[in-house]
Structure 1
Amino acid sequence: MAEVWQWLSDHWVVVGTYTFLVIDVILRILGLILVPRNRRPGSALAWLLAIMVLPIVGFPLYLLLGKAELPRKRREKQKVINRLMHVRAHDIPDSELDADAPSWLQSAVNLNRELGAFPLTGNNDADLEIDYDTSIARMTADIRSAQHDVNVLFYIMARDQITEDFFDALGDAAHRGVTVRVLYDHLGSLMHGSTYRSMRRFLDSCGIEHYPMMPIKPFSDGAFQRPDLRNHRKLLIVDGQIGWMGSQNMIAAHYDKRSNIRRGLHWQETMARLRGPIVAEMNLLFATDWFYESAELLAEDELLQAPADTSGTYECQLVPSGPGYVFENNLALFNQLFYSAERRISAVSPYFVPDESMLAALVTAARRGVDVELFVSEIGDQFLVFHAQRSYYDVLLAAGVRIWLYQAPTILHAKHVTIDDSVTVIGSSNMDIRSFLLDMESSMMIGGTDFMAKMHQVEDVYRSRSRELTREEWEQRPVPMRLLDNLCRLASAVV
């Protein structure tokens, strides 16, 4: 044995070289076997490129980030809760579309139901809020009026000077006997340091039950869970009668970052306040996430409150999506609507990195004469995504899509789409691969002429604050910037 160690010591360079080469070849072969299975060709090629260029780094990264799937225990919970919510959803009456609704809209409703969405409900009312601080103030006022329960879920929650009154309202509600439940994404909120810790201490001091969603505990659910699977939803439900959803997180508009404050960066959002039968569906969706983190099944009679106001005229359908579903529900819905559009598509998305099917749907719509416009930010807060989305502007502009750049120093973070004068989709979902595959999202499809008028007013405001990107301007951008955009586009495919 001593002779063997002596030989290895004398020839360690040769042994190390051959060992490295063997491992290198094995990892490349494993990559060719494992990566292409049930994966988009673009994503598979990107991962294979990463593995082939540097297997020692690329393959471990694939093991860490290459599987967009919940671990076993969470998948089992998903199956249980999906069956239960399907049964409970039968207690929500199905609504019929108005007689003047386009025929393709019923197809979209049917598609949503097949993918796991809730029933279409009528007699709803909704209004919009696009002022950041005002929306927080209005949500706070609704909490102060609560009599029975308040259910809160935000991707990012932090207690700072802007949100302090919101949390005080939660504490006051708990002190007067209202049941308050709070969920927040673990990683999304944890990144905000002292204000996140302040929030947790405050909730504890008020005796409010709260849980971090998708906690960073890689092996706690029966298998490894990739750390970037996140719950990106934003929901507030008060007494089962008032529901808020949209794009806004519960944090100051500058996200409590010194660099943002120094640059004057702040976020622009769109939130919807809903009343009517649809609020019961929002409560059901909250209950699924509550069950994941607390293992508590909320009582049906608590969730499905009879709406006090049914005077509204809007049809609404709630569409959840995320890695717990078999199909990419939000992507399927967007594509269905894009192909159905006859006159106009207005899309607002802070992070626009579409897959091939969505890009084809938008380009096809523009080429067949539909007026297509896309609202994005002039500047970005996420380097990779910002440059990746810019790589799509060439083909969009060539097809006739109008691109509006929301002017700096504001980050346009709103997420909504309107199709003709028929339907809108608003919620937490971006139009990027992360929202389609990795994030748990909530989208609301809303029909109604009056609501469409409200949405068009919001689009008019955003258009007035934006400048249009022309094809001539885009073609004059520097060559190094083009190369950077295309490189980031390639990297963004690694999901």
Structure 2
Amino acid sequence: MAEVWQWVTHEGLVVLPYVYWTLDVLLRLVSLVVVPRNRRPGSAIAWLLAIMVLPLVGFPLYLMLGKAQLPRRRREKQQAINRLMRVRAHDIPDSELDEDAPSWLQSAVRLNRELGAFPLTGNNSADLEIDYDTSISAMAADVRAAQESVHVLFYIMGLDEVTEEFFAALCDRADAGIAVRVLYDHWGALSHGAQYRAMRRRLDDHGIEHFPMNPIQPIRDGAFQRPDLRNHRKMVIVDGEVGWMGSQNMIAAHYDKPSNIRRGLHWQETMARFRGPIVSELNLLFATDWYYESDQTLPEETVVRHSPDTSGTYECQLVPSGPGFVAENNLALFNQLFYSATERIVAVSPYFVPDESMLEALVTAARRGVAVELFVSEIGDQFLVFHAQRSYYSVLLEAGVKIWLYRAPTILHAKHVSIDDSVSVIGSSNMDIRSFVLQMECSLMIGGTDAMEKIREVEATYRSRSRELTLEEWRQRPRGMQIIDNLCRLASAVV
């Protein structure tokens, strides 16, 4: 042993460089074979660049973060969930589109049914709410009226002075013997430590069942699980008859962060309140997430039910997406609608980092005469994403896309798309690579003249609070800022 140690001490410094360079070359060669497999070219190039620059760091990161899929056992469970969802969705009756609906809308409906299993439902009604605190109060009021069940799912959820009334309503119903079930994303909620802990204590004190979604356990189900595969949905379903969904998290508008409070940052959201058969689809999606985290199968009669309120005129279809689905459902839906548009596209997204196919769809639409408007924030809360999205402004402006910058210090966090005067999509999905690949999202396609009028009112409000970015102004931005934007765009491709 002493001789071995002596050899290592004297010869190790000589041998170590050879070992290092051998491993360096080996990792580079292996990455050329492994990384491009079943991956977008842009993402593959970004990963290869990271590995080629520093293989001993880049390759281990690739092994941890390079695969946008759940571990094998979790994938098997998700496949079982998808099969169950398709079976139960058959109990929801299909609806026919209005006679004056464009032909391409029927294709979108068929695409969505194939991607997410959910049918088109008619006779729905909806109201939109864009005031942050008012929407929380309205959701709390609906919860207080619950007679049978309350299902809650949010990416970020925490107890603070703004959300107190919502949690008080949950506890009141639980104390009355109503079944209250709560899901929240583990990382999304955990990142707000004090509010997260206060929420858990409150729920526990009142015996409310709650589970963190995609809990951060690096080694789970027998394999490494990416920590950034998150459930980004936001939903509240009361008695299977009233459903809320959209972009808003259950936390104060400044997210309880001292840095946000100092800067005056607060979030602008859009939430939708639904009644009618579509609520069963929302409830079914919640049930699949509940099973995914709790192993509890909710009784079908409490999930899929005939709505007593069928007086609405809206046609609605739910489109779930995420790493548990084979296709990138939200991206496929957006692209199909963009290519179908003949008159107008309005896209509202806080984080706009499209892949090549979406960028091409928007640019092509603008160049063939479609009026394309993009609403984004004037300032950002995430450095990398904010600068990455700015790198796309030039090509969009040159193609004729009108970009509206929602004025600071507000972060426009709402997410919706409207196409012509035919259809809109509202939900939790951003137009960025993370939402397309890594996050479980919930989008809802809505048709109907009255629905479009409400969407247009929201867009008009957002337009009044924004300023237009011109191509001339954009070309005059500092050269250093251009370099930062382009570097962040490259980094954003690493998924």
Shorter chain as denominator, the TM-score bin is over 0.9
Note the alpha carbon deviations across 1:158-207, whole angstroms, 9 max, x for none: 00000001000000000111100000000000000111000000000000
Structure 2 residue runs of 5 or longer lacking an equivalent are: none
- Aligned-partner Cα distance in 2 for 1:74–1:100: 43
| 3-state SS of paired residue (2:202) | helix
Paired with 2:294 and 2:4, the residues of 1 have a C-alpha distance of 56
Give 1:43's aligned amino acid. S
Q: CA deviation at 1:12?
A: 2.1
* Structure 1 residue 415 corresponds to structure 2 residue 400: no
Amino acid at match of 2:299: A
Alpha-carbon distance in 1 for matches of 2:30, 2:187: 31
In the alignment, residue 448 of structure 2 is paired with which amino acid? G
User: What is the one-letter code of the residue matched to 1:51?
Assistant: I
Name the SS for the 1:357 alignment partner: helix
Cα drift, residue 251 of structure 1: 0.1
Query: Which residue of structure 2 aligns with residue 475 of structure 1?
Result: 475
1:2-13 paired onto structure 2 within 5 Å = 2-13=2-13
Distance 1:229 1:431 in 2: 16
Q: Superposition pairs for residues 275-314 of structure 1, below 5 Å?
A: 275-314=275-314
Amino acid aligned to 2:108: A
Amino acid at match of 2:367: R
State the match for 1:340 in structure 2: 340
Cα RMSD after superposing both structures = 0.7
Query: Once the 2 structures are TM-superposed, how far is the Cα of residue 3 of structure 1 from its aligned partner?
Result: 3.5
Q: Matches of 2:8 and 2:183 in 1, distance apart?
A: 56
Which amino acid counterpart does residue 188 of structure 2 have in structure 1? Answer: G
1:27 matched to 2:27? The reply is yes
Deviation at 1:11, TM superposition (A): 2.1
| Residue matched to 1:449 | 449
Aligned to 2:7, the other structure's residue is in SS state helix
**Distance of 1:71 and 1:446 partners within structure 2:** 34
Q: For residue 21 of structure 2, what is the amino acid of its counterpart?
A: L
Distance 2:146 2:229 in 1: 33
TM-score (norm 1): 0.99
Question: Counterparts of 1:116 and 1:248 in 2: how far apart (Å)?
Answer: 23
Residue 354 of structure 1 is matched in structure 2 by: 354
Q: Contact 1:117–1:317 (CA<8 Å) still a contact in 2?
A: no
Paired with 2:112 and 2:304, the residues of 1 have a C-alpha distance of: 21
Counterpart in the other structure of 1:210: 210
Distance 1:233 1:188 in 2: 11
Matches of 2:359 and 2:320, distance apart in 1: 22
Amino acid across the alignment from 1:41: P
Aligned partner of 1:113 in structure 2 is 113
One-letter amino acid of the structure 2 residue matched with residue 371 of structure 1: A
Tell me the amino acid that sits aligned with residue 288 of structure 1.
Answer: T
Q: What is the one-letter code of the residue matched to 2:302?
A: E
Aligned pair count? 495
CA shift at 1:137, angstroms? 0.3
Match of 1:371 in 2: 371
Give the equivalent residue in structure 2 for 1:328.
328
CA offset at residue 8 of structure 1?
A: 2.3
Question: For the residues of structure 2 that align with 1:58 and 1:368, how far apart are their CA atoms?
Answer: 42
Name the CA distance, whole Å, in 1 between partners of 2:218 and 2:327.
Answer: 24
Deviation at 1:117, TM superposition (A): 3.5
Gaps spanning 5+ residues in structure 1: where? none
Distance apart, 1:16 and its partner CA = 1.3
Q: TM-score, normalised by structure 2?
A: 0.99
Secondary structure in 1 aligned to 2:338? helix
1:4 to partner: Cα distance? 3.8
Equivalent in the alignment of 1:403: 403
State whether residues 407 and 466 of structure 1, in contact with CA within 8 Å, keep that contact through their aligned partners in structure 2.
Answer: yes
Distance 2:12 2:82 in 1: 57
Partner amino acid for 1:368?
Answer: R
Cα deviation, residue 419, structure 1:
0.1
Identity %: 77
User: Secondary structure, in 3 states, of the residue corresponding to 1:118?
Assistant: coil
Residues in 2 aligned to 1:26 and 1:268: alpha-carbon distance in whole angstroms: 49
Distance in 2, matches of 1:84 and 1:434, equals 26
CA offsets 1:123-146 (integer angstroms, 9 cap, x no match): 000010000000000000000000
CA contact 1:422–1:452 (8 Å) conserved in 2: yes
Residue of structure 2 equivalent to 1:67: 67
- Give the SS at the match of 1:11: helix
2:44 counterpart residue number: 44
Distance in 2 (alpha carbons) for counterparts of 1:7 and 1:182: 61
Once the two structures are TM-superposed, the CA of residue 15 in structure 1 deviates from its matched residue by: 1.2
